[in-house]
Amino acid sequence: MTTALPLSGIRVLELGQLVAAPSATRILADFGADVVKIESPEGDPLRTWGNMAPSGSSWWWSMQGRNKRLVSINLKDPQGQALVQEMARQADVFIQNLRPGRVTEWGLHYEHLESLNPSLIYVSISGYGLSGPYHDKPGFGHIAESMGGLRYITGFPEMPPVRTGISLGDEVAALHAVIGVLTALYRRAHDPQHHGDHVDVALTESVVSMTEALLPEYLNAGIIQERTGNQLLRSAPSNIYPTSDGKWVAIGANSTATFAQLLTVMNRQDLLEDARYTSNAGRVAHADDLDQMIGEWTAHQTIHEVIDQLDRVGVPAGPVMNARDIAHDPQMRERNMIQTVADPTGTPIGMLNVVPKLVRNPGRIQWAGGRIGEHTAEVLTELLSMTDQDVERLRALGIVR
């Protein structure tokens, strides 16, 4: 018997595309929520982003669309809008990240759906939130990363700001959306009147929320944080260093105890009493000197030699890994973080397993992202009591796919 997943019984309607809303619903689906993804007849644009799988959609889509029931509805048609409104009556959660104003145009805004279903938890993900002078502007993750301060502090001081290599603004907004959903579900479960809520997630605010001391230091001391490359700004030494085999090793010896252990391994105990390095403030002030010294030490050893020595004395260290390294890493393998799931064509698709791990109530991957409209008939029959003939009639009219 298959154990019920922790969010079994929670129905989520996703009216999202690309990254933020679909990432949030993927997490909810991994833990058992019945996620019904509403796509246009053309499908989520993410299906064409990146390298393509044999199924005709991107490898990324296979993971992003997993565990979701896929329904294709033409929301430009009033009948299509009416279908989603009726489906919302039976939903616990509605998540959307469409361009501001679009959901209102389609009658799928919070005020209308809440009038149909007062217990609905409605999540709006947008660039700037539901209020303020920017609220009706379109927003993307890289704009949020720029306006949220992340890009300004990322990179080396002599170079222009750079991105992190992933859609970090979208992904962190997705996590905040999940936090909002779970918080609202808990509150609703303890509300005798079963009231829902409106979760307002702004990409820019989500980015700012993870910038640590960026705002407090400016607001209280007028300090504007600048780019510092791979150095930590507030503790040292912490950086990445070259090794003799052409690799890079990350070392974090930024506490007094670990710094002392690092000096011992490097056979530089003479620096233990050096006034420049006896405090964190001193080490930060002389971080460049420390990094040069550590880099010269690592450059004469292989990455395994460096990590083995540091592991023995408890100094945090690890290799800078690419996708191949991660996929074959024994820690990832031991924790079953790499999974293979068949797509609708039967092609095995490798992907990351569910995060986070719950020891007693873990999530699981049940199927990979599938074809546009794969579950349209199933969902309309189940939720709206339609017959096969009803669905075929809607297909003939171009309202569903």
Catalytic center residues: 170
Burial 39-53, CB ≥16 within 10 A → b, else e: bbbebbebbebeeeb
| DSSP symbols for 284-304 | HHTHHHHHHHHHHHHTTS-HH
Residue type, 235: S
Please state the φ and ψ torsions of residue 376, each to the nearest 5 degrees.
Answer: -55, -55
| d(C-alpha 306, C-alpha 45), whole Å | 44
**Which pair of tokens denotes residue 162?**
């750079």
| d(C-alpha 94, C-alpha 12), whole Å | 6
Residue type, 353: N
Nearest Cα to 211, choosing from 156, 164, 179? 164
Helix, strand or coil for residue 207? helix
**Which pair of tokens denotes residue 68?**
């979701």
| d(C-alpha 239, C-alpha 244), whole Å | 17
With a CB cutoff of 8 Å and minimum separation 6, the contacts of 358 are: 6, 31
Nearest Cα to 123, choosing from 23, 39, 264? 23
Quick one: DSSP state of residue 128? S
